[in-house]
Amino acid sequence: TIGLLHGDDRELLQALAGRKAFDVVVHGHTHQAVVRTPGPTLVVNPGETCGYLTGRPTVAVLDTVSRNVELIDL
């Protein structure tokens, strides 16, 4: 299962990742591209496609079977 949210509330992200209710949690808001596994749940922030705030335009491609994520610089 995949959880989606717009925000970077660390407590909420930790709660969602730690409950094992989701295989993957995708979030945004910070525009910082990040892929991490703080436990059994994969946490992904795809970044931003325009690169206006970070200077790094990115997207993320998630393979839902293998749970592999590719961050692609545009």
Q: What is the pLDDT of residues 8-59, one digit of tens each?
A: 788 888 888 887 889 999 998 889 999 998 788 999 999 999 989 999 999 9
Q: How far apart are CA 62 and CA 12, in angstroms?
A: 22
3-state SS class at 17: helix
Residues of the domain holding 61: 2-73
Kindly report the CATH number assigned to the domain that includes residue 28.
3.60.21.10
> For residue 40, which amino acid is it?
P
Using the predicted structure, report yes or no on whether residue 62 has a pLDDT greater than 80: yes
Give the global pTM.
0.88
Q: Count of domains in the chain?
A: 1
pLDDT for residue 11: 87
